[in-house]
Structure 1
Amino acid sequence: MDSILSNIKIAVPEQIFVKDPESSALGKRIVENSILLIDDIGFDSFTFKKLGNIIGSNESSIYRYFESKHKLLLYLSSWYWAWVEYQLVIETHNLSPNTKLEKAIEIVTRAIKEDSNFSHINEVVLNKIMVNENSKSFLTKEVDQENKDGYFVIYKRIVHRLRDMIIAIQPNYKFPSSLASTIIEGSLHQHFLKAHFKSITDCGNNTTPTEFMKNLVLNTLKA
């Protein structure tokens, strides 16, 4: 899988950015350091001015790539889900329906390891941002228009892939899309609870969100 991924460019919807950050060294520095800064101070406190100070560049140069910090968060979210999708496609190829769904749940819920194929992006830290900040990319007044404009196409594509795997196992199940989206959002929430509200989750040192989600989904489909 590593050799295949090394030749892959993660594709993010072009309408999210002004200039593709992958097209220049500065763009890659913007992405790399924005991940580290958001993780350090949180998205609410993050500004392009603070980022510019870190990368030694004018704030205006960052606006040449992203028109707002919201668009930057959308970029990071889309990049993350596209990266997960590549793993999903490659690692579930040619598996039986039941094994495919179990593997897919594992991929979208597991603890993240850094991927050396993308040296300017720390996937482990980006995953922490997804757990803590991802909902801020769509809990906005503009979400319907942004959805119409295709900003969330990659995220929805992963949900649809999981939905189709659920239908392949249990065609008569009434709520495949709801269950698929619950796998994605529920796992992020359990990772958040595991880190911050340990008393209201059973996930911890001995039980992972992956184990919980597999148990929930597979028992639901048996019923």
Structure 2
Amino acid sequence: MQSFLSTIQIKVNEKIYVKDPETSVLGKKIVQESVLLIDEIGFDTFTFKKLGERIGSNESSIYRYFENKHKLLVYLCSWYWSWIEYKMIFKTTNIDDPKERLKRAIIVVTEKALDDQTTAHINEAILGKIIIAEFTKTLQTKEVDQENKEGFFAIYKRVINRMVSIVNEVNPDYPYAKSLVSTIVQGSLHQHFLTEHLKSITNCNEPTGTTDFYLNITENILG
């Protein structure tokens, strides 16, 4: 897995940033430290001023990479879903049985993220926590329709549609493949949130509980 991911380069829609943070040491530091700071204080209280103080740089230098903190969060989410997509491709390539491919894809999108040593400047385990807590804030905005037109959520939708195509192989007659997969992907984030904060209203409190839950749903629905 590490050798595979070390050969790929994660691409994010260039409309999301002012300058690609992957092209400089400072840009990578902004991304790296923003992940850590958002995890520590939450996105609502996160500011570029606080990030600048943390990295020892002027606030203005961060604006040279991102127009605002919303765009930064969209960038981090896009990066995460691109990473998930590469993992899914790796796990499902050369697997002939569509049921096995679907199972592997579900595991990828529902399991808790672990840090990937091949991406030194981003801790995926911590970024995964941010996705669980903050991802809906990139979608539930007044600008969502325009941002969708500009392709801000293309990678997220591509992950879902890759799984939809597998569901259609497993059961071509099932009429709700898109709704099923989007529920699995988005619902798994919610279940992870509940296991962290509201354990009494979920049955997914075991380490693999969320994955097992969605595997069970899929098997019962698709047969």
Q: Which category describes the TM-score, using the shorter chain as reference length? A: over 0.9
1:171 is matched with: 172
Deviations 1:23-45 (A, max 9, x none): 00000000000000000000000
2:183 is matched with: 182
Kindly state the Cα deviation for residue 2 of structure 1 after the two structures are TM-superposed: 1.4
Identity %: 56
TM-score (norm 2): 0.98
The residue identity in structure 1 corresponding to 2:44 is D
Moved over 2 A (4+): none
1:18 is matched with: 18
Give the paired residue count.
222
1:137 is matched with: 138
1:83 is matched with: 83
| C-alpha separation in 2, matches of 1:134 and 1:206 | 21
Deviations 1:39-82 (A, max 9, x none): 00000000000000000000000000000000000000000000
1:59 is matched with: 59
Tell me the SS of whatever aligns to 1:30: helix
Tell me the SS of whatever aligns to 2:86: helix
| 1:86-101 equivalent positions in 2, closer than 5 A | 86-95=86-95, 96-101=97-102
Query: Structure 1's 154 and 206: CA in aligned 2 closer, same or farther, altered over 3 A?
Result: closer
| C-alpha separation in 2, matches of 1:186 and 1:9 | 28
Deviations 1:144-185 (A, max 9, x none): 000001000000000101111100000010100000101100
The residue identity in structure 1 corresponding to 2:128 is N
The residue identity in structure 1 corresponding to 2:10 is I
2:109 is matched with: 108
| C-alpha separation in 1, matches of 2:156 and 2:183 | 13
1:6 is matched with: 6
Kindly state the Cα deviation for residue 126 of structure 1 after the two structures are TM-superposed: 0.1
| C-alpha separation in 2, matches of 1:104 and 1:205 | 20
1:159 is matched with: 160
Query: Structure 1's 52 and 202: CA in aligned 2 closer, same or farther, altered over 3 A?
Result: same
| 1:66-77 equivalent positions in 2, closer than 5 A | 66-77=66-77
The residue identity in structure 1 corresponding to 2:53 is N
Identify the range of structure 1 (71-80 vs 201-210) with the bigger mean alpha-carbon deviation.
201-210
2:148 is matched with: 147
Kindly state the Cα deviation for residue 205 of structure 1 after the two structures are TM-superposed: 2.7
Instruction: Tell me if structure 1 keeps the 8 A contact 2:133–2:193.
Output: yes
Tell me the SS of whatever aligns to 1:71: helix
| C-alpha separation in 1, matches of 2:181 and 2:127 | 22
| C-alpha separation in 1, matches of 2:116 and 2:124 | 7
The residue identity in structure 2 corresponding to 1:75 is Y
Unpaired runs of 5+ residues, structure 2, are none
Instruction: Tell me if structure 1 keeps the 8 A contact 2:204–2:213.
Output: yes
Unpaired runs of 5+ residues, structure 1, are none
The residue identity in structure 2 corresponding to 1:88 is M
* RMSD value, Cα: 0.8
| C-alpha separation in 1, matches of 2:186 and 2:157 | 12
Tell me the SS of whatever aligns to 1:14: coil
| 1:188-207 equivalent positions in 2, closer than 5 A | 188-205=189-206
Query: Structure 1's 22 and 206: CA in aligned 2 closer, same or farther, altered over 3 A?
Result: closer
Kindly state the Cα deviation for residue 207 of structure 1 after the two structures are TM-superposed: 5.1
2:219 is matched with: 218
| C-alpha separation in 2, matches of 1:19 and 1:206 | 39
The residue identity in structure 2 corresponding to 1:154 is I
TM-score (norm 1): 0.98
